Each structure stands twice: as structure tokens, then as C-alpha cells.
Structure 1
Amino acid sequence: MKFGVVVFPGSNCDQDMHDALQNDLNKEVQMLWHKDKDLSNFTTDDCIVLPGGFSYGDYLRCGAIARFSPMMQSVIEFANKGGKVLGVCNGFQILCESHLLPGVLMMNAHRQFVCKNAFIKSADGTPLKIPVAHGDGRFQADEKLLDELQVNNQIIYTYCDKNGNITPEANPNGAARNIAGIRNKAGNVFGMMPHPERATSSLLGNVDGVEVFKFLGLN
């Protein structure tokens, strides 16, 4: 599997993602500029990554301008053909703005930027320690959509404590139902607020992020 990492004006986790994929996961990685459109080097067996940061300065809404970039038009087509797409933090916001994923990311409930280690887990997984760093990470949707996400097994990660308990205290941003990440119905588009690329190196004392890429089938 080959990876393409899109770089927008204001991206600041693009190189982190590149290094995690190439150096820690031994993947082939190509950087993709937001003004370009060409994804001919990628097949639907590959993955396009939208990294964290502050694309276009987070003007209007986070990800609202990036959604209209030339590269994103190609990414939308790529996803609609079944290609894998992963959005992390700002990338998750862009995926929601692009309607590749449902729901919205709103300002944290406590109205403060949060930057710390958090614990997340899948429906049947063990807790993973993954860093978060965002000011607009509170996932919101109406109750009907939230129920659909649960029924369709589209919630990939929820915030929990170190023992795996899903509690309000373990929720760093007030996200509905402690949602940390979701996928689309087809299962090829993933979005999450925590940063798995910041937890793939033993030099940093945390490799839990590797388990995230494995769980999403991106290893």
C-alpha cells in the first residue's frame, strides 16, 4: 500500500505523517500539493491522507476552504471509487466539510485548545494512548445520525480512560457519545481527531499509533 499525504497552506503535521509512515511503518509515501490534481500514481488499494494543522488558517470554518482545493476534488473522486482516505484532526474536519463523512466538528465544549495524551478504544479493543491537539474537535450530529453510526459500526474510536471506561471525564472536547473517530458506510474513508502519527516511534516512548493503522487496515 502506497500513501499520499496532501499538503495545504497551514498544514503542520504533514511531515510528521510522512515520517511515521515512511520511517516507522516502512511505507512508500508521496507528498501531494493542494493545487495539484494528479492522483494517477495511486490505485484504490492505496491511501490518501489529509494531515492535521490549520488549512487556510481555519478561516470560515475548519476545513471549509480546503474542501474546495483542486486536490480535494481528486480525493473526493478517489474516495467515491473506493480508494482509502484517512483524515487526522484538521483532515477529519476537511472530510466532514467535503461530505465524505457525516457530522461536524465544533469548538471544544470548554472553549479551550486541548493538547495532551488521551485514551481511545475501538468497540472491541484495548485502550490506546494517542495524543490530541485541537480547538475544534467536538464531534456533533443529531440523534438519528448518531444512532445510525452505532448501528452501522461506523464509530471507529471512542474516548475512554486508561482502563477502557467510556466516561465524560475521559472526553477531552465534549464530543457526542465520546466519539473520537468515524468511518463512512463503505468503510474506506476514516476520520479521527487524535494523532496516531505522533505515537509510532519507540524514541518517543509510545507506539500505540501503530495499532491504529493496523486496525484501519492501513498497515
Structure 2
Amino acid sequence: MTHMIDIGAAAGIATQVGDLLGTFAFAISGALMAVRKNFDIVGIAVLACATAVGGGIIRDLVVGVTPTAFVQLRYPAVALLAALLIFLWHPPRRLTHRPLDVADAIGLGVFCVTGTVTAYTHGLGAPSAAALGVVTAVGGGIIRDILAGVRPSILHPEQEIYAVPAMLGAVITALLLHVGHSTVITGTLASLAVVVLRVLALRFHWRAPLARPTSRRPKD
């Protein structure tokens, strides 16, 4: 019994650590987007926080709990710290693209796993937990892009695959939870797989397939 409790406690700690890492990574991506758009310090802070906690807030509202960002201030604090670091560094706009993509990939990989685990532990079935894991992973990026006035990556046909890696990570995590084989190690490996897949997609320009065009003209 003690051993099982220890395992559960370790998994809970790992999820919290992962959430903080994902929060920091997404906040960095939001702050870099703000720099690219020439926002001031307030804009940098707002975009960093919205990107970092937006997906988690949507997830928590769906499962019916008070959003974690509103009751555990370490999450917005981490986001504001990331915003401050970017503000003090204030990299040139031409240097924001690659760091933004990498930070976004890290946040995507972490949150698709921790979001799925959180949803599952609140009583959702594996399919619903996987769906909320994807929402947790992509929600912040969508909010960031909308606030910055750009088309969200998930809806841009010329952008490299974005939701697909998150879906794979969330589905794998949900399956592992369903069969009782979810551990800190498997969760970490799933997150890393998503990050690697996203980075490879950026490197080799992998895109999701488009609908096949038709040569027939539509009828009036």
C-alpha cells in the first residue's frame, strides 16, 4: 500500500513539474510573439500569460473545476517570469522565429500529456481525456495567435503539422492510462516524442494533407 501511495505521489509531482515546464515554455513563445509584433511590456506579459495558461483554463472549465491558474499562483508567476526575461533580453525580431517554434514545441509536448492525465484523473474516459489533452496543448497557441493578429498555426494550411503531434501524444497517454501502464517514464517519453516530431516537422516542412481539388466546376 505504501509503495502504491509513493508511486501516486511521484506521478502527481511529475505532473506538476511538467505543467510548470510547459507553462514556462509556452510563456516564452507568447512573449517572443509579442516581441515580434513590437508589443510593449504590458503586451508581452499579457501574451505570455494567455499562451501559458489559456489551454489549461479551458480544460479545467470543461472538467468542472476552478482553473488551476486562479488558485495556484505559481503558474501565472512562472509566466510573468518568462515575460520579464524576454523583456530584459528583447531579442531582435529576426531572431524570434526559431526560439518561438522550439519553445512552442516543448509546451505542446508537455501539455498534451499532462492535460490528458489531468482530465483522466477527474473522471473522464480515455477518449475524452485525450481530446482535452489536445485542447490543453493547442489552446494557448491559438489564443496567442489570435491576440497577436495572425492566423492560428492549427488552421494555417501552409504551416507544418501542429495538432497532429499533440493528438498522437494525447492518444498514447490516454491508452497507457486506460491499461494502467502510465508512469513518469512513459509520460516523459511521450512528451519527448511529440517535441521531436514537431521539431522534425518544422525542419523538413511536413504538412497535413489537403482536400484533393476537383476539376469539375460547381453547378450554379
Q: With the length of structure 1 as denominator, give the TM-score of the two structures.
A: 0.30
Bigger Rg, structure 1 or 2: 2
Structure whose residues are more often helix by fraction: 2
Greater relative contact order (CA < 8 Å, ≥ 6 in sequence): 2
Structure whose residues are more often strand by fraction: 1
Q: With the length of structure 2 as denominator, give the TM-score of the two structures.
A: 0.30
